[in-house]
């Protein structure tokens, strides 16, 4: 399997994609299953996938891709903008009060939603 052409889609999206990004690039969604079996891709949550490489994808990139409508707040914002070196225990996100709570139930990264 020629993985380089698929990796370009991930590279264009900072290493993490939505399934619609992949199919929008002209690839069939079954290719993702083959990439997972080959150990090239890991499922982050339903519909979101991360390319496995030596480069570590920051938690901020993952949060931005999964929750583009959320706002990083409190000590997480201080950490993100380099006002503190203390790593927060969880990423604090402010979201619309009508957002579905189940949408934020993921194992990694740890979230605290307001």
What are the pLDDT digits (tens) for 57-85? Answer: 778 888 888 898 999 999 999 998 999 98
Q: How far apart are CA 88 and CA 98, in angstroms?
A: 26
In this prediction, residue 109 has a pLDDT band, given cuts at 50, 70 and 90, of: confident
Cβ pair 29, 22 in contact under 8 A: yes
- Which of 4, 6, 59 minimizes the C-alpha distance to 33? 6
Residue 1 is predicted with a pLDDT of: 64
Cβ pair 70, 95 in contact under 8 A: yes
Q: What is the mean pLDDT of residues 25-54?
A: 88
- Which of 82, 80, 84, 71 minimizes the C-alpha distance to 112? 71
Average pLDDT value over all residues in the chain: 87
43 in helix, strand or coil?
Answer: strand
Global pTM value: 0.70
């Amino acid at each position: 399997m020629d993985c380089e052409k698929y990796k370009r889609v991930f590279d264009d999206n900072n290493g993490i994609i939505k399934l619609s990004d992949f199919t929008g690039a002209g690839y069939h969604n079954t290719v993702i299953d083959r990439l997972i079996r080959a150990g090239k891709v890991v499922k982050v949550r339903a519909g979101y996938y991360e390319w496995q490489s030596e480069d570590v994808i920051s938690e901020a990139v993952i949060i931005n891709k999964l929750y583009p409508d959320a706002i990083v707040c409190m000590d997480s914002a201080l950490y993100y903008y380099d006002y503190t070196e203390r790593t927060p225990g969880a990423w604090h996100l402010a979201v619309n009060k009508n957002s579905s709570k189940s949408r934020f139930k993921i194992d990694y990264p740890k979230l605290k939603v307001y």
